[in-house]
Each structure stands twice: as structure tokens, then as C-alpha cells.
Structure 1
Amino acid sequence: MKTVNVGILAHVDAGKTSLTERLLHTVGVIDELGSVDDGTTRTDSMALERQRGITIRSAVVSFVVGDVTVNLIDTPGHPDFIAEVERVLGLLDGVVLVVSAVEGVQAQTRVLMRTLRRLRLPTLIFVNKVDRAGADPDRVRRDIAARLTPAVVPTGTVHAPGTTDARCVPYPDGDPDFLRQLRDLLTAHDDALLAEYVRDERRLTAERLRAALAAQARRALVHPVLAGSAITGAGVADLIGALTELLPVRQPSVDGPAAGTVFKIERSPAGERVAYVRMSAGTVRLRDRLPVGAGRIATVTGIEVFDRGGTVRAEAVTAGRIALLHGLGDVRIGDPVGAAPTGPTDARHFAPPSLETVVVPARAADRGALHAALSQLAEEDPLINVRQEPTRREISVSLYGEVQKEVVQTLLADRYGLAVGFRETTTVCVERLTGAGAAVEVIGVAPNPFLATVGLRVIPGAAGGGVRFRLGVELGSMPPAFFTAVEETVRETLRQGPYGWQVVDAVVTMTHAGYWARQSHSHGTFDKSMSSTAGDFRNLTPLVLMAALLRAGTRVEELVHRFRLEVPTDVLGVVLPVLARLDALPRTTVSHGPSYVVEGHVPAGRVHAVERRLPALTRGEAIFESTFDHHRPVRGEPPTRARWDHDPTDRREYLLAVARRFTAHRGKR
């Protein structure tokens, strides 16, 4: 069956969850509308989502339009939960971006649209809440064209906006103004269409332009704008039609090897990990044995597919569908299921979390249970990056904002019965190489206590290029498992550089490799104490890599956001000095009617302080938005972060902690 995977994205409170509920009601999946305020919607299934009236985790519902299965993914709108949006973008064929007809384009709307345009994801824009007092769809459409993208075209008009009688009427094919808008917009993106118009403008009939609109919308060249109300249902039928008419509909192949990607993890009441998998090829059947992640084989013990707003058990799931798969063991978000997907799978679309905090249990005796609980929450949201410092056993997590902290606190209390508090939130920094460095330790040569030879060279990589691992030795010089152990340990070790921050954008080359093959006594007994194992390489690599990093040198850099601030003209003189005191550096200040638009840069650690100060300074009229832009070297003394592993910068302590344990373990085998 044909399928289309559609994400519902919006700034918080634009009404996307209510719109999802209305879509399900309109297509006949549900008989009664749920309410966000009452906590009765289908997609906000977590108790905390119902209590707070916000979406925290992405949710999937499915319904059929004609001969097309529509998989609808409702995502969070609050910026603290942008990681949930991150994880679904790679699954989508198209997007419905919801904008309130009252509030208009908001900060998160702009962040989302910039990302959607960069990814060339086909996007329909739905102006919601046309029935609300203060709704002004025409103003919002102009705002969309000015602040999101000029490549938009309204598909209808709204009668009686701002009242419960608001109606959305599509433009008729014979409307000359509508046809002129279509012609001007579409010919700007299609030279063949323009040439056709120049030869004979009569050839660009309404039918021809409608077809061109659909084709260009599916290629993300233009973005149709629809309007309506999730509460009254006005305009929703037109949106349903647009999902299959204006977004790319796929006919995926069910033949060939099964391939899918895990984009969400939940736990069943029995504690089993359940994987949300988007199938891109082939078919998965019950009891199939499939490759999962990095080299594991798992047996599928249960399949649930999304159908008519819920899930049903199934014997198989085919390409194009989204399913819940049971039995995949320690599966993680991002893992391939079946054949490995083609193309990049770890691309980041939004900035990583810029804040972190220490989680403190109310009872010291709960520290072990707290770490286990947070580790389970990290299965659902890996970017919280749980880590425990070994000496004081303090547990830290990464965050996008203060609301996320409150959610973590509530989840720990509700799910695990753990009362916790938090230390003061601090800003995350990174480390970047300032030069090149190399180190090597040879097997059997003091002071190397491990049965492995490892040599590594580090050099700075391209900005934004991430960590790249290369081999400068022959691939056949030792077993592949040993190379894998070195690469995995390199990536893990780089999470904490000499100052304790993650090392970014580095190229690491393995320059030396050596091992001792399996040794046997004369009577044929395998001698474990004289045979190299992957553990030797995992324990030696941090020492070699840290020595190379120290020789290369690193500098600590802080995250810097690009901001846009719109303030009334009469308060600009008050706002600018405050921005300066908060280390925000304006780059441009432009008059914009009764307002000024200020754009510039601000350290990530100061963003929340700016947001707190602006309402009082501007009578609540400021419009502030920010997004990650770049890193810059920290001024003054570089901040350090406590390590949560055995510190390879202190060789003696590292060997006491690691080598003795490893030697004891080796002797027991």
C-alpha cells in the first residue's frame, strides 16, 4: 500500500496536538474529540503530558486516506524537547508546520522552518486557530512570507476570522488573483514552465498550474498555506486532502532484505525495551532473526503496527510502515534493524544540549537506584547524556532548558518513586585541538602493562566534521575486533578531554598496531595470560590517546547563539545596555516600523538571563529568539569539568583502577 510519513511541527501552544486529534476525528478513527486541557488526547499518552498539557515525547498515529496510509507523527513544540523532533526528521516524507492565527510566527517556528528548508523537506503550512478572538490570518500569511520563506502561496481565504463562525474557503480554479499568484510563484522555480508561459500564456490553465503546484510542493520548492481551526474543524478536510495531493506519497518495495531504523524506545510494563522502527525496505516477520545495531542478531518476538489511531498485533510489517518491535534486546535509538541504511545516519539538525546539572537524590541511599533510573530515561532520550563521577558518585545530565529539568524530576518521582533535587544549571563547553600530537605504547615494553601495541596521532578536523577515525596500518595486521575496540574506545575517550569537556572535530589515525596471538602450553592448553584480547586494547587506548591530546593541546570553547530581538522603539535605549552587561553583542540594529530589530550573538549560558530580563524592560512586547551558531574560545581561565571515568591523565591512578581489575579478571578466565 502507498504510504506517506508526515510530521506535525509547531511552536508550543500553536495547537498541533489538537489538530492531530481533529484529523483523527475527521477521518473517522475516533468518535469523540479529546482535549489537551482535559488530558484526553490520543497522542499525549504520558501522565505528565496530560497533567502539563504539553507534548514531551513524539507519538505516532495512522489512518487511511483513499489508497494511502498516512503515518502522522506528533512532535513536541517546546524547545526543551527539540531532541524528539531531531529523531523523527529523518523518517518524514513531509511536514505540516502549524502557526497560530493569533500569535503568528514565533521563535520556534523560525528555528523549525530554517531546518526544514535546509533539509528540503516538503512542508505544508497550516494557520490554525482562525476561530480565536484576535485571529488575523491575512497578517499571519504576510508574516510567514516575510519571516519564514517567500516561497508560499495561500490556497484559500478565511471568512469571519476571529469568530466561532470562521470558515475556510478554497480559491476556485477560475479566481484570476489566485491564478496570477500561482503563475508568478511557480514560474520563478521552473524555467520550462516560464518558457511555456512566454510562448502562450493560455497554456497555463488552472489545471496545469495546480499540477505544477503539487510537483513543486513535493520537491520543497514552494509551500502551500492552508488555514483552519482544530477546535471547530474548519479547513481540516482540505488539509487531509493536501496530505496526499501535495506531499510525496511512496510505494515502497516490500521485496529484498528488510531494513529499518529505530527512532524511539519505550519500556513495556514488564520492563522490556520496545523499539519504534520505521521500515524503509523489505518485510519483517514474527520470529525473524535480524541484525540489530553493531553486529548483534536478535529474534523478533512481537510486532505491533499502527492502525486507526492505535496499535494492533501483526504477523509482519512491510516497508513504509512504522511498527513496534519486541525482542530486540539492548537496542538503542538510531540503530539499524536488518540491512544497514544507506547514507548518513548520525546527521544533527539542531544544536546539542547546552546546559547540564547534577541530580541529587533526596536520600543518599537512593544513589544507585537513581543512576539506574536515569540510564533507563536515557534510552528514551540519549541526549541527556547520563554520567557518574566515580569518586563522589555525583550524577550529571545534559539539558536543553529548565522545563526539561522539571520533567526529569517528575518522571523520576512517578515512575521510580525517587525524590530528587538539582544543583545549579551550568553551561556545557567543548574542547578543540590546537595542534597535532602523537603517542605510542608497545607490547612487552615498559611501562605498558597491557598485551597490545597502540599508536595514535591526532590533528584538528574541519569545523562541524565530528570525530573521524582512520587506519594508518594494514587492516590485516591484527584481528578486526581489536581495531573495533580501539575505534570505539577512541570515541568514548574523546567525550572527556584534558579539561573534562568533549573533544570535537578531530581526526584520529592509528599509526601502530600489534598483538600477541593465542598462546598454548606444550600440552595444548590455551594460556590466557599470554594472549591479547580486546580488553587490552580498550584499556591501553585511553592512555595513548590522552598523551597524544596533551601533546597536541586543546582549548576550551563555549557555545554561542545567534539571536534576533524585536523591541518597541522607545525602549531600545534601555535594552541595549542590559544586553551588553549580559555579554550579548549586537551586530545590526535596524528600524522596522514602530520597532527595532536587533541581531547579534550571545553566549549560550546567558540566553536564559536575557529571556528573564526582557519582559520587564519591554512591557512584555519583546520578541526574542536564539539558536546555536558557533563555538568560541573561553576568555580567561578555562573552566574544567569533573571526570566521571578513571582519569587517563593520571597514569598511576588510572592503572591502579583499571590494570589491577583487568589483571584479576584475566586470571579468572
Structure 2
Amino acid sequence: MLGRTLNLGILAHVDAGKTTLTERLLYAAGVIDAVGDVDAGTTQTDTLALERQRGITIRSAVVSFEIAGVTVNLIDTPGHPDFIAEVERVLSLLDGAVLVISAVEGVQPQTRVLMRALRRLRVPTLLFVNKVDRRGADTRRVVETIADRLTPAIIPMGTVDGIGTRAARCTPYRLGDPALRTTLIEALTDRDESLLAAYVDNEHAVTDLRLGRELTAQTRRSLVHPVFFGSAMTGEGVPALSAGLVELLPAEASDPEAVAAGRVFKIDRGPAGEKVAYVRMFAGKIRARERLPIATVSDTEVKVVESTVAESTVVGRRAAEAKATVIEVSDGGGWVRRPQLVAGEIGRLWGLTEARVGDTIGRPARAATEHHFAPPTMETVIVPVRLNDDGALRAALARLAEQDPLINVRADDTGREVYVSLYGEVQKEVIQATLAMEFGIDVDFHETTVICVERPVRAGEAVEILNTESNPFHATIGLRVEPGPPDSGIEFRVAVEPPKVPLYVYKNLDNFTEYMGGYVRQTLREGRFGWQVTDCVVTMVDSGYSVADGPPSKRGPLSTPADFRNLTPLVLMRALERAGTVACEPMLRVSLEVPVWAMSAVLTALGRLGAAVRHQSVSGDLTTIETVMPAARTPHLQRRLPALTAGEGVLESTFDGYRPVHGDPPTRPRTTADPRHREEYLTSLTRHGRRG
């Protein structure tokens, strides 16, 4: 029988103790001889020099160990919100997760963001309340906050004595303990009608064994979330958590004989600069040097955030073949060369020179194109300190974009201005340090600005007809743009008959639709004001092509994909002009906890910053204020809050979508020629050799 494998994610708000818990699990499994120290830079999973220097996780790391016959592939993820994109890429790989919460700080902003994503994806999740030995720890308060702010579907799995001291001890519940039985009956019957009926009929007939089986079943279905307590630093409570991993999370035997299905979730570089692809195999197997069917990304692919909930669609993908020259499998805290990578395993593959994050091997496995966190809301121009580093900087940023596509490196046609998208100032500092340490390039940044989006105001339509004086391309394209539902992204439709589509080029209507959708999304990266256009429906209402019928041709030269690709921006931007767009700025949901005596001054400051107060409440000598405000103005509030509250104010913020900008719309410089200026656009195609 095949061994069972559990692909496990460890997630947390920064400084909750996630990496220390990883170290403790590895130590308990015998993988390492001593628990590493985050501050000292001696942890197993923080391998980057910059991670060791800063004491934070920046890139996800994989390490494997065994518990009770189950192979656990543990993925340690960043906790700082600036590196949420790294967490994003891991979510679809997981069989289960542990969400770490500090017993002192409790539920923090990133904790809520992560739990929402885990529940949305229905990833079975255990909660671990860490740092019970720290002064100020309060498990009762934390459990109440978890139920209030994360989910009421929780089941405490033990008690803590000596809370807040180095002598803190955790006692796990056992099946049959009255406290656990009461909690299980209340939580489990609420989510299983047959169990409820059996309990109502005869409560003694519902045995502890049945409750234990039901706890496992409901945890694996992500209906309930067991809560464990402990200290990763001392190891207290970790054995109970380890047992819970294999008993409660879905570690299953995979079928290596099935059709191969895997995904590239991380790109790295080896010692000689060679590309290394990290792959999770969901089914089947792949062997070294065998040709692999890979759905890889074409040169015209656009990876863009297409909605306010950061859902994106990868377009323009093409099937290709490649072969892994070397395969390494995560095993016992290291990487071991193997002849094959089988279902359930995570491996490092050399030889996939064209691989990118998100590529699939074999048949698609699980949805991977949806984003579950907010998009980057900031952008900056990055410039080399030494002018002769300009080319090296662009090459280095291309390498960084391999690892994190959401930094969305943009350069104008001249190459003089290079933009990167950011989640925050810490990420900017890390990019700067990485360029200096790994590439020897010193850089400066222009002022950080927010990233807006554009939304259509009404419907607009345009068409270019084949063989007319105004149309320089051998194609007919008609497009209609209209507003879509909020947070819907970009939807592309084809409403023309198949005979009007050049099937000799695109093979079938689905293929034509996919490519045209790619051309449309590529164009909508920069709208009327230079921002990404979103929340719209684009419909192809007319199409035509030419076929040569012998010299001298009366119908025109044979239409090519370049004709459709190059004509699309001319038609679409004219339709967009007729539709009109409104620029929308990112908004943040801000929660403030301030002393009662400071409430008046804080509310006044919020009013001046254009914040809309949604709710406020008083508890003791503290006031909680819930508000929504523009992301661009939040840093100003953060700077003023200490003076307004004598240093006692606390601010938490999360992304809350986009809102139309009042007054003059903000603009962003285009990086490509504007198709609304026909001659300029056509000249740019000739300059870059794109006319053919």
C-alpha cells in the first residue's frame, strides 16, 4: 500500500511564532538536532541571507518529515502582509493548514485575512494558540476573539495551567473528558442533522468513539477547526498538535498510476543561475528526462489583477513539451535526487527553462487562477544609482518577477522608466536589499503612489472593416464594451458565427476566443487614464478575414494572427472612449482602538481625510472606530495617530475594494503607444517589428 502524504501549510501574522513552530516540529520529528532561532538566523526554512538578516520569512520554503507513518511536506510561508503573494501561490497546494495565533497579541489583521482565504478554499485548518508561556498571554480572551472575529466553529482541544509563565503546561483533552464531550456535541450536532437526531433520541447512544470520528470528518471537510495550545519556543503542547495533524487532517495515499497532474508554484535559481522549478504533484508521476506535457505561458500572456477581489485569469497559454534533466524530492529536511516525482510529493526540477509560476504539468489539477487576497495597491519607479546599471537592473527585475509575478514589472517603450507594484514599504526595502546583495545593483525609488483601476461608465462600440482605407490590417473586428458587475473582472465573449473566424489559423472557435481574449486583456492593461480596466464585459460583435485567391488577389493577402492582435487595440480603445471610464482608487477598511478621551480628535482627523465612519463602540476606557478611507491617505493617519492618542492608539487595516475618484481623475504614464493616437501606435508597431 502506498504511504500517506500530507502537504501542510503553516500560516500566521508576522511574529506569531510560525517559523519557530516549524523548527519545533522538525526537532520533534528528529530532522534537526536543535531548534533554530529566528533572531539568530539559524532556522531551517529561512535560507535566504536577507531572511536571516531581518528575522522574517520572505519566500516560502519546503521541508519534509514523518509523523506516525505519514510523510508531511511542510510549507513555511511569510507572515508579513507585504509578502502575501508568496502565501497566495501555496494555498492551492495544501491538503491542510495550521494557522498560528499569538496568545498575547491574539487575532491580528493578517490572521483574519488568512482565515478568510482558508475558509473560502475549504482548506482543513487547525488553530495553534502559541506563546502561552509569554507574559500577557490569555487563552480565554484569545478563544473568545477567535470565535468573534474568525469563526465560531472552533473546538478547544485542551487546557493551559500557569498561563503567562515559563511554567505554563498544556493538558490535551482525551475522548470522554466531560468538557470536550460537551463542546463536541454542541459543535458537531450543529453541522450534522443525523448526529443531532441520534443525540436527541438518546444522548447516551452517541458514543465518544462516534464523536471522535465525526470530529475528524468535519475537520477534514473544513466545517470545524480544532484549537490547540502551546509554546513553540519550549515545545509545550506541540506533541498534541503533531498527533492532531495526522489524526484530523486529510493525509491520503495518492495514485502514481493516474494521469500526471502537477503545478509549478515557485521558481528559483541554482548556483550557476539555472532555473529551478518547484512542483507539487497531485496525481501520476513524472520521470527524469521524459518529455512532459506542460501548459506553459506564451509570450503574449497577461497576468493581471482583473477585479477588486484580485481574481485573475491567465490567458494566452499554449501547450508545450519539456523534460526535467534532474529531479530532487523533499525528504527528511533536505533534497534528495530521485529518478521520478510521484503523486503527493513536492520536487525541484531542473531543465524546465521556460517554466513560470502557475504552469501545469499534464492535466490541470485544482483551480489555480483565482486570487484570494488583495492585489498590490502601491507602485513606484525604480532607478539605478549608477546609470550604466540600467540594462542589468531590467535583467535582475525580470529574475525577481519570475519569483513573484505580482510585482508586475512595467517599462515604457524607451526603457527609461521601470515600475514595480508593491504591497508595502517593507517589500520595497527587501527588493532594494536583494538587488544590492544578489545582483550588485544599488537602486533608488521615486515616491510610492497608489494603483488605481478604471471601470466603464456605459456601453461603447467600435468596428474596423477589412479592406477599408482607415484599416491597415487584413481583418474585420467589432467590439462592444459595457460595464460588468462589481468585482467581476474582465469577461470576454464572441458573438459572431464560426464562418467569420479564420479557423485555418486558430483551429477552432474556442482557440480563437482564447487568443482574442488575450489581445483584449493585453489592451485593457492601460485604459484612458493609464490604469488597468476592470469590471467590464467585452463582446466581439463582428469579425472577418481575407483569403488570397490567386495573383493578382482580389480578396487580399492571407490574414494572420498579427492582423487580429494589432487591430484589437485600435478598435477596443475607440470603443472604450465611447463608453467612458471612471478612475477608482483603492480603499482600506480601518479599525482604530483609541482612548475615549482622544475620540473627538481622532474623529476630526478622520473627517479631514475623507474617511467614512461605519461603526464605533466604547468598552471601558477604549473606543473602537470602524471606518473606510482611501489607501493613499492611510499613511497620513498612521503618522498622526501617536500624537492624537499619546501613543496609545492602535490601527489595523485591510483592503476594501475600489471607489470612484471625485474630481480630476488621477493618471498614470503609459508604457506603450496609445492606440487612440493612430499614427503614433502604428509607428510603434513598425519600430518594434510587430506589424507582421
Shorter-chain TM-score above 0.5: yes
- Determine which of 100, 106, 109 is the counterpart of 1:107: 109
Q: Is the 8 A contact 1:229 1:235 kept in 2?
A: yes
What is the 5 A alignment of 1:307-386? 307-341=331-365, 344-386=367-409
- Determine which of 187, 197, 203 is the counterpart of 2:199: 197
Q: Which amino acid aligns with 2:346?
A: I
- Determine which of 262, 265, 268 is the counterpart of 2:267: 265
Q: Is the 8 A contact 2:492 2:517 kept in 1?
A: yes
- Determine which of 49, 52, 57 is the counterpart of 1:50: 52
1:600 Cα offset (Å) = 2.1
Name the SS for the 1:440 alignment partner. Answer: strand
Hey, what does 1:505 align to over in structure 2?
535
In structure 2, what is the Cα distance between the partners aligned to 1:187 and 1:618? 46
1:109 Cα offset (Å) = 1.2
Q: Render the CA deviation track for 1:11-43: whole Å, top value 9, x for unaligned.
A: 100110011011001011111221111111111
Hey, what does 1:545 align to over in structure 2?
572
Q: Which amino acid aligns with 1:515?
A: Y
- Determine which of 509, 515, 526 is the counterpart of 1:496: 526
In structure 2, what is the Cα distance between the partners aligned to 1:278 and 1:611? 41
In structure 1, what is the Cα distance between the partners aligned to 2:334 and 2:549? 58
1:392 Cα offset (Å) = 6.7
Percent sequence identity over matched residues?
57
Hey, what does 1:87 align to over in structure 2?
89
Name the SS for the 1:323 alignment partner. Answer: strand
Hey, what does 1:615 align to over in structure 2?
642
Hey, what does 2:622 align to over in structure 1?
595
Hey, what does 1:658 align to over in structure 2?
685
What is the 5 A alignment of 1:435-584? 435-475=458-498, 477-478=501-502, 479-480=505-506, 483=512, 484-517=514-547, 530-584=557-611
Q: Is the 8 A contact 1:449 1:659 kept in 2?
A: no
Under a length normalisation based on structure 2, what TM-score does the superposition of the two structures give? 0.91
Compute the RMSD of aligned alpha carbons: 2.0
Q: Is the 8 A contact 1:107 1:624 kept in 2?
A: no
Q: Is the 8 A contact 1:519 1:531 kept in 2?
A: no
Q: Which amino acid aligns with 2:473?
A: F
Q: Which amino acid aligns with 2:536?
A: A
Name which of structure 1's ranges 237-246 and 204-213 shifts more when overlaid on structure 2: 204-213
Q: 1:238 to 1:519 in 2, by over 3 A?
A: farther
Q: Is the 8 A contact 2:570 2:676 kept in 1?
A: yes
Q: Which amino acid aligns with 2:361?
A: V
Q: Which amino acid aligns with 1:26?
A: A
Hey, what does 1:411 align to over in structure 2?
434
In structure 2, what is the Cα distance between the partners aligned to 1:623 and 1:661? 52
Hey, what does 1:146 align to over in structure 2?
148
1:163 Cα offset (Å) = 2.5
Name which of structure 1's ranges 507-516 and 366-375 shifts more when overlaid on structure 2: 507-516
1:531 Cα offset (Å) = 3.5
Q: Is the 8 A contact 2:109 2:654 kept in 1?
A: no
Under a length normalisation based on structure 1, what TM-score does the superposition of the two structures give? 0.94
Find out whether 1:168 has 2:194 as its counterpart.
no
In structure 1, what is the Cα distance between the partners aligned to 2:197 and 2:594? 45
In structure 1, what is the Cα distance between the partners aligned to 2:632 and 2:154? 36
Hey, what does 1:640 align to over in structure 2?
667
Q: 1:486 to 1:148 in 2, by over 3 A?
A: closer
1:602 Cα offset (Å) = 1.0
In structure 1, what is the Cα distance between the partners aligned to 2:626 and 2:360? 41
In structure 1, what is the Cα distance between the partners aligned to 2:279 and 2:471? 45
What is the 5 A alignment of 1:393-404? 393-404=416-427
Q: Which amino acid aligns with 1:565?
A: L
Q: How many residues align?
A: 659
Hey, what does 1:428 align to over in structure 2?
451
Hey, what does 1:66 align to over in structure 2?
68
Hey, what does 1:630 align to over in structure 2?
657
In structure 2, what is the Cα distance between the partners aligned to 1:209 and 1:660? 71
Q: What are the ranges of 5 or more consecutive residues in structure 2 without an aligned counterpart?
A: 297-317
Q: 1:392 to 1:381 in 2, by over 3 A?
A: closer
Q: Render the CA deviation track for 1:614-665: whole Å, top value 9, x for unaligned.
A: 23333443332222222111010001100011221211111112146548x7
In structure 2, what is the Cα distance between the partners aligned to 1:457 and 1:190? 49
Name which of structure 1's ranges 379-388 and 471-480 shifts more when overlaid on structure 2: 471-480
Q: Is the 8 A contact 1:57 1:76 kept in 2?
A: yes
In structure 1, what is the Cα distance between the partners aligned to 2:688 and 2:559? 16
Name the SS for the 2:488 alignment partner. Answer: coil
Q: Which amino acid aligns with 1:438?
A: E
In structure 1, what is the Cα distance between the partners aligned to 2:549 and 2:288? 44
Hey, what does 1:387 align to over in structure 2?
410
Name the SS for the 1:535 alignment partner. Answer: helix
In structure 2, what is the Cα distance between the partners aligned to 1:7 and 1:400? 22
Q: Is the 8 A contact 1:432 1:504 kept in 2?
A: yes
In structure 2, what is the Cα distance between the partners aligned to 1:630 and 1:454? 33
1:425 Cα offset (Å) = 0.6
